[in-house]
Amino acid sequence: MSLLFAFDTICGEKERGTLKLVLANAVPRDLVLLSKWIGGYLSLALPFLVAVLVSVTYVSFAGTIRLDDGTIERLLCVIAVSLLYMSLFFALGMVISTLTHKASTALLVSLFVWSCWVLIIPNLASVAAKTISPAPSLQWLTAEKKAVNRETQIRQERVQQEMLGEEATAKMAEIRQEAESRTHRLDTFYSDRRRQQIGLSENLSRLSPSASFTYAVRANK
């Protein structure tokens, strides 16, 4: 919605010729841009705030949620991040509108940038993270644990055949501890590599405003 509201704010007036009339007066260009940004952004922000207020009032009276101090604080943080998110895309739309000369071109560029930032970059981030920081699969971990268990079982059976009494008991305990230690190292290795991969994927996806918005909203839970 922000991009659709902003894509022709400047280039649309260029095509209609009204921008020349505006700039013919003693009006600074930065004031023209700022006025258009404020007017266009308020036309989005005010309906959004009214819709949020109506929705929160409804669910509050319906008893779906209870608005305690913690909930209100988190809700205000989400609203603030949402307003910032909307302002970013509206400013982006105005930049594209300023750099282009036709509204149709501005619309196509806006849709292309939106699809890259919202759809392509978050999906490519996970693929890039898997390539840059590969992590073993869960099937690999399960197979390695099974191999350790088989090896442990074979060693214990051999001990039972070759040893007796306390010596066999001590050796069996040593084998079990060694197997537990190997299993723990496998779990640690798997968790560390997966954590590194997920962290890299999140950092790469933060190049997308939509992913950053999602992480910011989740951080308020």
47-60 per-position pLDDT tens digit: 999 999 998 888 88
25: CB partners within 8 A, 6+ apart: none
C-alpha separations of 181 from 18, 112, 140, 168, 188 in Å: 76, 52, 18, 20, 10
Residue with tokens 């902003």: 6
pLDDT of residue 138: 87
The burial of 205, by beta-carbon neighbours within 10 Å (0-12 exposed, 13-18 middle, 19 or more buried), is given as: buried
Measure CA 6 to chain center.
Answer: 25
Contact 36, 94 (CB under 8 A): yes
Q: Which of 101, 121, 149 is nearest to 213 (CA)?
A: 121
DSSP class of residue 117? I
- In whole angstroms, what is the distance from residue 134 CA to residue 204 CA? 15
Cβ atoms < 10 Å from Cβ of 65 = 11
Q: Which of 79, 80, 87 is nearest to 40 (CA)?
A: 87
Residue with tokens 């079990």: 176
Residue with tokens 């099974």: 146
Q: What is the pTM of this model?
A: 0.68
93-143 per-position pLDDT tens digit: 889 988 888 888 888 998 898 888 888 888 888 888 888 988 888 898 899
Distance in Å from the first CA to the final CA of the chain? 26
Mean pLDDT in residue range 36-42: 89
* Angle (nearest 5°) at CA 102 between 98 and 107: 80
Mean pLDDT in residue range 84-91: 90
172-191 per-position pLDDT tens digit: 888 888 889 999 999 999 99
Mean pLDDT in residue range 60-87: 84
Please report, rounded to a whole number, the percentage of residues in the chain having pLDDT higher than 90. Answer: 18
Question: Would you list the domain boundaries of the chain?
Answer: 2-101, 138-202
38: CB partners within 8 A, 6+ apart: none
Q: Which of 122, 124, 120, 101 is nearest to 111 (CA)?
A: 120
Whether residue 153 is predicted with pLDDT greater than 90 in this model: the reply is no
